[in-house]
Structure 1
Amino acid sequence: MEPKRRAAKISIERFGKIIHLLRKRGPIPMATLKNELEISEASVKRDIEFLKNRFGCPIEWSATERGRGYVIRDDLAEGGRFELPGIWFSSAEILALLTMLHLLEGIQPGLLDDDVAPLRDRLRAMLTQGAVASPHIEERVKLIHFAPRAIEPEHFRRVAGAVLEGKRVALTYWNRDKQELTERVVSPQQMVHYRENWLLDAWCHQRNALRTFALEAIREITVLPTAAERVSRKDLRVHFESGYGIFAGPAKHRARIKFTAKRAQWVASERWHPDQTSVTTSDGDYILEIPYSNDQELLMDLLRHCPEVEVLDPPELREHLHAALCVAAEKNRPLTDH
């Protein structure tokens, strides 16, 4: 254990002992506390100030018939009795948590305000009452989003609650392909944040199969009292992670894609699929192999790398990319002067 961590642990144990002594034998004079804790008077005072300022412990010096010394005024504590928090954080850990909360808020602004704001305020208070000043995390960590689709905050909360509590939900869902509203009863399995948007992987009781639902396409949602039907983690991984991107199902094809040496400076550091393989050629080109079941999303990703990319295999993927480029070129011919 590192020296700082060891010292922090000893202090935490000492705080508990101080609370125990004051509650059991108070009032306790300084001399007794020094002897019981085997520390200096300055350390005792520092610990007491830390307990008062950081945790709101109602410790006071008191002169009563029982004696003169330090006591805990439980009548001044919230709830009628002071208790040390069950979880302890160092200043570095509090900063890390505040950063995580800021990142979480940045994923979907406003969705978790009611739930996260009290925790964030408490952490900031703990930090500022300690030895470290609280920085404005939002001024130090910046998230830049691109085209996230808006969802109803209440829909998010209900879906999240159903996932965590293991409850079925009834959905009124907008099917974009068929351009119609559908009614579904589903057993939520997991929420997925994918490319700036929230998705729900669930067992659909109408289709008797796993399906993915976009949260922004949910029009109405009711959490049902019925327990959700559970799908094993192994089956979820096989179904949702075998193909490429959001398209589920077993991978039927394997693509071989070559990026130029110029583009390889970025692509070589990217993870396109858990089962990808790659090699860098002698001239610096980067050849990536990935499995896929449906090429729709893969084509979109390849198009954004054109003209620095070439599909080597399979032929049908190369043909689809060529066709998409031809259509795009036709639609974007230079405008003629009139």
Structure 2
Amino acid sequence: MDRTERFYRIELLIRNRGGVNFETLLEELEVSRATLKRDLQYLRERMDAPIVYHRADNLYRLSDDGQHGDASHQLPGVWFSEPELHALLSMYQLIQGLDSAEVLGRHLQPLLDKLPAMMGTTAAEARELMRRVRIVQPARRSVPARWFEVVGSALHRRQRLALAYFSRGRQEESDRVVSPQRLVHYRSTWYLDAWCHASEGLRRFALDAVRHAETLPQKAKNVAMSTVEAELDGSYGIFGGKPRGQATLIFSREAAQWVSHEEWHPEQRLRTLADGRLEMRLPYADATELTMDILRHGPDVKVMAPASLAKLVGQRLRDAASQYGG
């Protein structure tokens, strides 16, 4: 443990326990008596830590008498409280659950290694805490770490990318030169929002469909984030684009208990009907993903408008029933 970690741990141990004796600090920090004395002196004199020694009970405490500094004192550059450190450990678990964990986890590991010392706990106790947070991401599509790292680096450095991209719809691979604008994590999968220089427009690329990625020396074309949001986030689903219509759905009373707490789209409008059913209105462009989510609710939802969407959902239900002799 380096000196900065020791400083943080000394102050945290005293703050959390109300008072700590010299021998306990020695045991927790695993340093020599001379080193601990120097650390305490440095904290008091150079960092204004309000640490005082109470001879009566042989404890080091944080003073609140105003003569030795502020008891809410925090070390410069180290501003995490204990609940915030717990949140960081939970956040690390979330990152580990993402498909980019190999990349992000590797770069965050040095921070993670410091957290147990900052918390005044052992590495084993920190691991036990992390086991109590579980992130489940079903139907996750794998993204090769090397492409995620190349794309992420180009995004932050504002450089263009050469992509070999496989289009599932057309079942063909094409070469693209793009200017990355934003990374999007949606339903357990990563996407890249980028300006495509071939089509001269904003496009959204699924990173699991990238076959090759290479950073180019040219600077990326900058597109205002408000434009990116307007072009790509306006309607329902990951490939929604600008809205072309509005869907009206009616959910049963049973389904309404859950759907009323869900956000299908930021601009959705919900209304509870007199009989307890729920009406949802939301913008959409491409019906593919919206249809899939409607089908997920089976008989507990009915498409009221537009007629074209109702017809599409009805046909998909009949096609599904025909698989079972219905």
TM-score (norm 2): 0.76
SS in 1 for 2:93: helix
Contact residue 203 and residue 209 of structure 1 kept, 8 A: yes
The offset of 1:39, in angstroms, is 6.3
* Structure 2 counterpart of 1:173: 165
Report the equivalent of 1:110.
Answer: 102
CA distance in 2, matches of 1:37, 1:306: 62
- Distance in 2, Cα, partners of 1:40 & 1:271: 52
What is the root-mean-square deviation of aligned Cα atoms in Å?
2.9
The 3 A distance-change label for structure 1 pair 328 and 223 is same
In structure 2, how many angstroms separate the alpha carbons of the residues matched to 1:119 and 1:193? 23
Instruction: Name the CA distance, whole Å, in 2 between partners of 1:271 and 1:91.
Output: 32
Of 293-302 and 323-332, more deviation after overlay is shown by: 323-332
Q: Structure 1 residue 317: deviation in Å? A: 0.7
Is 1:255 the equivalent of 2:267?
no
Secondary structure of 2:160's counterpart equals: strand
Structure 1, unmatched stretches of 5+, are: 1-6, 12-25, 49-83
| Structure 1 equivalent of residue 26 of structure 2 | none
> 1:168: Cα distance to partner?
0.7
- Give the SS at the match of 2:298: coil
Within 5 A, what are the aligned runs for 1:1-338?
A: 40-42=52-54, 46=60, 86-108=77-99, 109-128=101-120, 134=126, 136-333=128-325
User: What letter corresponds to residue 319 of structure 1 in structure 2?
Assistant: K
Q: Is the 8 A contact 1:259 1:310 kept in 2?
A: yes
Superposed CA deviations along residues 20-48 of structure 1, whole A, max 9, x for unmatched, are: xxxxxx9x999x97xx9886434998489
Report the alpha carbon displacement of residue 235 of structure 1 after superposing the two structures with TM: 0.5
CA apart distance, 1:135: 5.9
Question: In 1, distance between residues paired with 2:223 and 2:86?
Answer: 37
Question: What one-letter code is carried by the residue in structure 1 that aligns with 2:284?
Answer: Y
Shift of 1:225: 1.7
Q: Distance in 2 between matches of 1:220 and 1:37?
A: 53
Q: Deviations over 1:287-336 (max 9, x none)?
A: 000010111110000000011110111111111111111111112227xx
3-state DSSP of counterpart to 1:111: helix
- Output one character per residue of 1:243-300: Cα deviation in whole Å (capped at 9) or x when no partner: 1111232211111100000110111110011111111111100000001011111000
Paired letter, 1:260: S
* Kept after mapping to 2: 8 A contact 1:128/1:134: no
Contact 1:158–1:221 under 8 Å retained in 2: yes
Tell me the residue number matched to 1:77. Answer: none
Count residues with an aligned counterpart: 272
3-state SS of the aligned residue for 1:302? helix
CA shift for structure 1 position 86: 2.2
1:23 corresponds to: none
Deviations 1:69-124 (A, max 9, x none): xxxxxxxxxxxxxxx76232222221111111111111224332321222111112
2 CA distance for matches of 1:158 and 1:212? Answer: 17
The answer for the alignment partner of 1:20 in structure 2 is: none
Q: Kindly indicate whether the alpha-carbon contact (under 8 Å) linking 2:89 and 2:130 is maintained by their aligned counterparts in 1.
A: no
Aligned residue type for 1:300: M
Are residues 196 and 37 of structure 1, via their aligned partners in 2, closer, same or farther at CA, if it must alter by over 3 Å?
closer
Runs of 4 or more, structure 1, over 3 Å off, are 36-40, 42-48
* Residues 128 and 254 (structure 1), Cα distance of their counterparts in 2 relative to 1, 3 Å cut: same
2:93·2:134 contact (CA, 8 Å) conserved in 1? no
SS of the equivalent of 2:180 reads strand
The answer to whether the Cα contact below 8 Å between 1:189 and 1:202 also exists between their aligned partners in 2 is yes
Specify whether residues 45 and 216 from structure 1 end up closer, same or farther in structure 2 by C-alpha distance, changes over 3 A only. Answer: same
SS at match of 1:87: coil
SS of corresponding position for 1:273: coil
Partner AA of 1:217 in structure 2: A
Distance (whole Å) between structure 1 residues aligned to residue 240 and residue 300 of structure 2: 28
Structure 2 residues without counterparts, runs of 5 or longer: 1-10, 16-37, 63-74
Q: Aligned-pair distance for 1:214? A: 0.7
- Mapped contact 1:252–1:293 kept (Cα < 8 A): yes
